[in-house]
Structure 1
Amino acid sequence: MSTTGRRAHHQVTFAVLATGVIAFALLQSLVTPVLPTLEAALGTNQSDVTWVLTAYLLSASISTPVLGRLGDMRGKKRMFVLALSALALGCLIAALATDLTVMIIARVVQGIGGGVLPLAFGIIRDEFPREKVAGAVGAISALIAVGAGVGLVVAGPIVDALSYHWLFWLPLIVLVLAALAAQFLVPESPVRTAGSINWPAALLLSAWLVALLLALSQAPSWGWGSASVLGLLAAAVVLAVLWVVVESRSAQPLIDMRMMRVRAVWATNLVALLFGVAMYAAFAFLPQFLQTPSAAGYGFGSTVTASGLLMLPQTIASFLLGLVSGTLAQRIGSKLVLVIGTLVSAAGYLVFALAHDSQTEVLIGSTVMGAGFGLAFAAMSNLIVAAVEPSQTGVASGMNANIRTIGGSIGAAVMASVVTAGAGPTGVPPESGYTHGFLMLTGALVLAALAALLIPAVRRDPQTHAEPDVELRHPEAALVAGGTLVGDEPE
């Protein structure tokens, strides 16, 4: 129950959840366009300053499934407040940081806030009226892309008007208010999963994720064929296999391997991986492309602020399409919405690859890309929530977000290698590097659309056209979700 003795209205709960998710998403991208500023302010170099991003991704990758599981066991509201508090503490440390080491520590603490995503999805499923769940999950999911886009837009003006310290002071204020609101306004969810954290599995999960993301993030500077990168990748494979074995044999797994084998879950996670490859790479390299001086034969020599404004249509389109995604899914199904959203995003990337000589073309590509993001993010989350029982919502949705983060690390690392191939003595990438890079990302999204076709469809209620919570067309899915098997007739 809430501290007021009655359960808060679900719209109040949604407002608090949305605030926390937006703050987390902002902190994912806020530092990306101003890395050169941080490099100078912290007295470091281009290679080392990338750890400001890498440390955040590593921490979020490890913390997201753990907090999701803890939320299912100990209470989602309690863990949501903890995640917001970690984000706030990390912002405080980052705002006071004057050297790289302290900034990296701050970003690790902020990464713990990655748990806000699975916890928000779980609270929505537990607290909202059934007919409101799909729309709320869709809106929260769209806010992830919107928040990340807003971070790219507002970073420049904040640094220009104030300083890089305010990239963290402003979110800190919002996070403190959100944590207080969550404590006093959000009811504690009644759904609990018995058991305890499988710490050996958590350590193995952390180990293989660290090895994988460290190798991928450093491969452009160390070299893809270097002994360090190859050794880390081999270690990641071995540790991942051990993790799967430990989880499979555990009576209380951190990640239920039986759940992960459900076609609706693994196919949606594959889409998330490929989507992450494309999205994070674009967020990292589009500002760099726009800020390249036109003397290089491409780019517009934009300031940090101007390059952010050129990406504003992406943010607006993500938000608007995310709002209607839930309603659209009730009519045509989340699977079809996901396929459409992924192909729309691919079209936006194709525009960037083939037509980027004018700012109008960039605006068109950004708008189309954002529209696809809004549709696909919402649909992915709805498919995951519908595929598992309520007690596993946090872990399943957390792993989906986690896999998207891993995909982002892969995409950013590979994109860096493609873009910088053939760079001259000045270090400025050739235009062909960006063209090939965005074509590669277009291909990743086309593969994501094909992967989405593997997701089993769900039979909708003929009266409401809504998708049921857990009924899936796959025996394992029905077994795990405790749902009722339905036939394989076309929708």
Structure 2
Amino acid sequence: MPRTPSPTTDTGRSGSRRVSSVVAVLTLAGTTIAFVQSMVFPIVPLLPGYLGASSADTAWVITATLLCGAVTTPVTGRLGDMYGKRRLLLLGMTVMVVGTVISALSHSLAPLLVGRTLQGLGNSVIPLGISIMREVLPAEKLATSTAVMYGSFGVGGSLGLPVAALIADNFDWHVLFWTAAALGAVVAVLVALLVPESTSRTGGRFDFVGAAGMTVGLVCLLLAVSKGADWGWGSGTTLALFAGATIVLPLWSWLQLRSPHPMMDLRANARPQVLLAHLAGLALGFALFATNLVLPQLLQTPEETGYGLGKSLVVTGLLMTPQGLTMMAVSPFAARLTKAKGAKVTLMSGSVIMGVGYLLATVMMSEVWQIVVTSCIVAIGVGFALGTLPAFIMGAVPMSRTAATISLNTLMRSIGTSVCSAAAGVLLAHLAIDSGGMTVPSENGLRSVLALGVGASAIALVLASFIPRQRPSAGSAEARVRRHGREKTRR
């Protein structure tokens, strides 16, 4: 006779399927957000013709999303901890879809900027998704799942370039936004149907003054960093913004430390394990953007320069796709290393691999296969290093503060990306050459930016080496895994 499954077995299988569904949906959400953010890169040079605006004005299409994402992510994380992480994740996805629809309907710059600004709210999906995973996933699946979700950001970014280029080459550019809006709507429905709401809440009141102060300080800092090259680093506007950030952010920090219900728990974020993870996130954001900036430019630089590979935008996007896929593919292996040796070892290993990849990239620049190989080596290092950051945070903060703290880590990574873009822009501008009437980055300029990637990897390694090894608390995920393993051994 066939054996009738026991209720326990049925429940276990049902629970496993539910967990797999949650991980799949949240990973798809992360991929979608990364795709939406990167999909406009191929059409930015064409936007002045599409919209009848100057290149300087259309560049705000990128800056608007960056600023909105950076400023709103910590706020959304705090609100998620207070009122429900799934609720805020759904809100972010919905607003992102609305912004994408507005962009799809736009025929001038103003509505497109409104749409792209609203799309920046989707940047909170990764920290909110990881926070949900911490609550609903079994401890033994948490490390792998969070690493895979971080890897989804690389996949979405890599897919955005070739897909956007193909659509822009063969269809009206509005189709790109309609496609993204449809994908975002599907993901939002899946989140509503399959992802459970979090139960851990911080309570208290929302700190509107703290949120406003943080917004002003971050806008001043990020605008100065991202637009300083265009306005001039010594211009009055740039210096005024830096001065504003220098005044506002320390004052905001002073007030936060004295608030009974702060927007950001700075004392918790100042713990060595968390603080060093934030600084490592900044270094990793810098390093990750270096390869995304240099290698596509090298591939598209005309062959007449003697070092450029002269590839089209579509081909360049396809050649960069393996980088994102590699980043996600190695995430489970990074999680296994973390379980066996600890997050500190994984972060240090990833930093070393990333630095080796950048060193190889400085000398392997003459063939397409070399670009693919070196970009994948860097992606392996990023996949190992980036996925460890939530582990440090979740091991040091209570569950009710997870979203806000991981959101701050995401913000630090965004700041690292902005600083890398500014530093690379200065180097490439000073080391540019003329080729057929076009100004293109020189070979030495590209190598210099890759050298910055080596330096950022070294900084991440040094920071990781100072992260203290902490004994897991009784309620931490790592402790639960160890107790589970001991119980299995006794049985």
What is the TM-score when the length of structure 2 is the normalising length? 0.90
Q: For residues 355 and 38 of structure 2, what CA distance do their matches in structure 1 show?
A: 21
Does 154-163 or 54-63 show the bigger shift? Answer: 154-163
Residue in 2 that maps onto 1:457: 469
**Residues 100-139 of structure 1 mapped to structure 2, 5 A cutoff:** 100-139=109-148
Aligned pair count? 462
Q: Select the residue among 69, 73, 78 that pairs with 1:64.
A: 73
Q: Select the residue among 461, 467, 484 that pairs with 2:478.
A: 467
**Residues 51-200 of structure 1 mapped to structure 2, 5 A cutoff:** 51-200=60-209
Change in Cα spacing, 1:185 to 1:360, as seen in structure 2 (3 Å) is: closer
2:388 counterpart of 1:379: yes
Q: For residues 457 and 146 of structure 1, what CA distance do their matches in structure 2 show?
A: 31
Residue in 2 that maps onto 1:447: 459
Change in Cα spacing, 1:445 to 1:34, as seen in structure 2 (3 Å) is: farther
Change in Cα spacing, 1:301 to 1:213, as seen in structure 2 (3 Å) is: same
Residue in 1 that maps onto 2:440: 428
Q: Select the residue among 416, 437, 455 that pairs with 2:449.
A: 437
Residue in 1 that maps onto 2:37: 28
Residue in 2 that maps onto 1:19: 28
Q: Deviations over 1:448-484 (max 9, x none)?
A: 11111111124579xxxx833799xxxxxxxxxxxxx
Residue in 2 that maps onto 1:483: none
Does 96-105 or 255-264 show the bigger shift? Answer: 96-105
Q: Deviations over 1:131-177 (max 9, x none)?
A: 11111111111112222222233222222232322322222112111
2:242 counterpart of 1:233: yes
Letter in 2 for 1:353: T
Q: Select the residue among 206, 216, 229 that pairs with 1:207.
A: 216
Q: Select the residue among 273, 277, 289 that pairs with 1:268.
A: 277
Change in Cα spacing, 1:197 to 1:348, as seen in structure 2 (3 Å) is: same
Q: Select the residue among 358, 361, 371 that pairs with 2:367.
A: 358
Does 385-394 or 293-302 show the bigger shift? Answer: 293-302
Q: For residues 285 and 45 of structure 1, what CA distance do their matches in structure 2 show?
A: 25
Q: Select the residue among 397, 401, 405 that pairs with 1:388.
A: 397
**Which SS does the other structure have where 1:457 is aligned?**
coil
Give yes or no for contact 1:291–1:299 (8 Å, CA) kept in 2.
yes
Q: CA deviation at 1:441?
A: 2.0
**Residues 275-294 of structure 1 mapped to structure 2, 5 A cutoff:** 275-294=284-303
Q: For residues 469 and 480 of structure 2, what CA distance do their matches in structure 1 show?
A: 13
**Which SS does the other structure have where 2:132 is aligned?**
helix
**Which consecutive residues of structure 2, in runs of 5 or more, have no partner in the other structure?**
1-13, 483-491
Q: For residues 40 and 353 of structure 1, what CA distance do their matches in structure 2 show?
A: 36
Give yes or no for contact 1:322–1:377 (8 Å, CA) kept in 2.
no
Letter in 1 for 2:478: E
Change in Cα spacing, 1:94 to 1:470, as seen in structure 2 (3 Å) is: farther
**Which SS does the other structure have where 1:363 is aligned?**
helix
Letter in 2 for 1:442: V
Q: For residues 171 and 83 of structure 1, what CA distance do their matches in structure 2 show?
A: 15
Residue in 2 that maps onto 1:298: 307
Give yes or no for contact 2:296–2:316 (8 Å, CA) kept in 1.
yes
Change in Cα spacing, 1:181 to 1:95, as seen in structure 2 (3 Å) is: same
Q: CA deviation at 1:184?
A: 2.3
Q: For residues 297 and 421 of structure 2, what CA distance do their matches in structure 1 show?
A: 13
Residue in 2 that maps onto 1:485: none
Q: Deviations over 1:208-247 (max 9, x none)?
A: 1111111111111222222221221111111111110121
Q: For residues 277 and 236 of structure 2, what CA distance do their matches in structure 1 show?
A: 34
Q: For residues 396 and 481 of structure 2, what CA distance do their matches in structure 1 show?
A: 6
Rg larger in structure:
2
Q: Deviations over 1:93-146 (max 9, x none)?
A: 111222222211111101111221221011101111111111111111111222
Give yes or no for contact 1:83–1:115 (8 Å, CA) kept in 2.
yes
Give yes or no for contact 1:386–1:469 (8 Å, CA) kept in 2.
no
**Which consecutive residues of structure 1, in runs of 5 or more, have no partner in the other structure?**
1-5, 472-491
Q: For residues 261 and 481 of structure 2, what CA distance do their matches in structure 1 show?
A: 22
Residue in 2 that maps onto 1:333: 342
Q: Select the residue among 396, 402, 408 that pairs with 2:411.
A: 402
Letter in 1 for 2:242: L
Q: For residues 348 and 83 of structure 1, what CA distance do their matches in structure 2 show?
A: 35
**Which SS does the other structure have where 1:184 is aligned?**
helix
4+ residue runs over 4 A deviation: none
Q: Deviations over 1:157-209 (max 9, x none)?
A: 22223232232222211211111122222211111111121011111111111
Q: CA deviation at 1:269?
A: 0.5
2:56 counterpart of 1:44: no
Q: For residues 440 and 350 of structure 1, what CA distance do their matches in structure 2 show?
A: 10
Q: Which has the higher helix share?
A: 2
**Which SS does the other structure have where 1:453 is aligned?**
helix
Identity of aligned residues (%): 34
What is the TM-score when the length of structure 1 is the normalising length? 0.90
Residue in 1 that maps onto 2:487: none
Letter in 2 for 1:438: L
Change in Cα spacing, 1:169 to 1:84, as seen in structure 2 (3 Å) is: same
**Which SS does the other structure have where 1:468 is aligned?**
helix
2:319 counterpart of 1:310: yes
Change in Cα spacing, 1:117 to 1:294, as seen in structure 2 (3 Å) is: same
Give yes or no for contact 1:56–1:111 (8 Å, CA) kept in 2.
yes
